[in-house]
Amino acid sequence: MCTCLWILSYHSFAIQFFQDFNLNVVEHIAKILDFSNKEKIVRMIALIFNNLKNDEICLEHLSMINALNLVIKLRNRPWVDEKITELLKNLFEFFDEHYQEFSSFDKWKKQV
């Protein structure tokens, strides 16, 4: 499933599905990333986040699920694959610069 989502994240016609608050695709992807420490899965989902970060609505999703903290947590792990380290560094820098803070009420309003 992660592979399919990774491939779809490169295509503009699929972005609408990542943007949909009812589907919660970004949130589900983040949960997989939070519980998995397999390098291939981490790299693939980090690439999905990298593809979605430039879309305003997807960036809002990433902010709401606290992707910055997830990236920080992953950066603290040792990775054999150096590209993961570089990708996480780039995601951290981007999220740190473009991150939005949402209260619980703000999150609830967006979902409603």
pLDDT score recorded for residue 79 = 93
Q: Which residue has the higher pLDDT, 103 or 58?
A: 58
Q: Which amino acid is residue 99, in one-letter code?
A: Y
Distance CA 22, CA 112 (A): 9
Structural domain of residue 54, as residue ranges? Answer: 2-111
Distance CA 62, CA 68 (A): 8
Within 10 Å of residue 23's Cβ, how many Cβ atoms?
A: 12
pLDDT score recorded for residue 102 = 44
* Structure tokens, 79: 């990775």
pLDDT score recorded for residue 65 = 87
Mean of pLDDT values over 56-74: 89
Mean of pLDDT values over 38-47: 94
**Number of folded domains in the chain?**
1
Mean of pLDDT values over 33-51: 92
Please, what is the angle between helix 67-75 and helix 25-35, to 10°?
Answer: 20
